């Protein structure tokens, strides 16, 4: 089943922070008690169904979180590591779809960039961006953020 597979991946990867997009209430109900030993902190905004839900599980203390929707869900979480407060975004801009209409995604990227500019703590941004490194929106994001996946050579 999909939830068992997700659980196995989460446990195998053993990351310090797990960010989930398209997060449903059944997924929250299944995963949360099964990973509480690894991730004692969480900020969860599941949806009963659909693709707007978001969730973050963390080994680091969570002090605040906020959730908002554009076409899909997005969230901002404040955590600390070794006495350093940092801000963590879990984002999900919409896909351009089969028509390759990027207007809605571009509007959400603009909103996110405005939010990032207001941050005063170290910033980590993860998510399902629904874009490639060939898109204008990727170029806009990498003007202010580092693509750590690319930097790592993966």
pLDDT tens readout for residues 47-56:
987 789 999 9
Residue spans of alpha helices (H) in the chain:
2-13, 25-35, 103-117, 136-142, 148-151
Cα separation of 95 and 18, whole Å? Answer: 22
Percent above pLDDT 90 for the chain: 86
pLDDT at 50: 74
pLDDT at 63: 97
Is 60's pLDDT higher than 80? Answer: yes
Are the beta carbons of 56 and 88 closer than 8 angstroms?
A: yes
Q: Which residues pair with 39 in a beta bridge?
A: none
**Spatial CB neighbours of 132, under 8 Å, sequence gap ≥ 6:** 138
Are the beta carbons of 17 and 81 closer than 8 angstroms?
A: no
pTM of this prediction exceeds 0.95: no
CATH number of 2-151: 3.60.10.10
> In this structure, how many other beta carbons lie within 10 angstroms of the beta carbon of residue 52?
21
Are the beta carbons of 106 and 114 closer than 8 angstroms?
A: no
Q: What are phi and psi of 16, to 5 degrees?
A: -75, -30
Is 82's pLDDT higher than 90? Answer: yes
Cα separation of 101 and 49, whole Å? Answer: 25
Cα separation of 43 and 76, whole Å? Answer: 9
Q: Tell me the domain boundaries of the chain.
A: 2-151
Cα separation of 100 and 137, whole Å? Answer: 13
């Amino acid at each position: 089943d999909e939830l068992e597979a997700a659980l196995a991946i989460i446990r195998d990867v053993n990351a310090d922070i797990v960010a989930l997009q398209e997060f449903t209430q059944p997924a929250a109900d299944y995963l949360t008690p099964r990973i509480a030993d690894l991730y004692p902190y969480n900020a969860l905004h599941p949806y009963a169904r659909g693709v707007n839900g978001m969730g973050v599980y963390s080994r680091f203390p969570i002090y605040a979180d906020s959730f908002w929707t554009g076409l899909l869900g997005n969230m901002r979480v404040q955590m600390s590591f070794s006495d350093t407060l940092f801000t963590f975004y879990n984002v999900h801009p919409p896909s351009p779809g089969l028509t390759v209409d990027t207007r809605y995604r571009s509007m959400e990227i603009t909103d996110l960039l405005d939010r990032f500019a207001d941050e005063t703590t170290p910033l980590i941004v993860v998510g399902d961006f629904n874009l490639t490194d060939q898109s204008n929106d990727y170029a806009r994001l990498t003007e202010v953020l580092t693509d750590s996946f690319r930097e790592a050579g993966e």
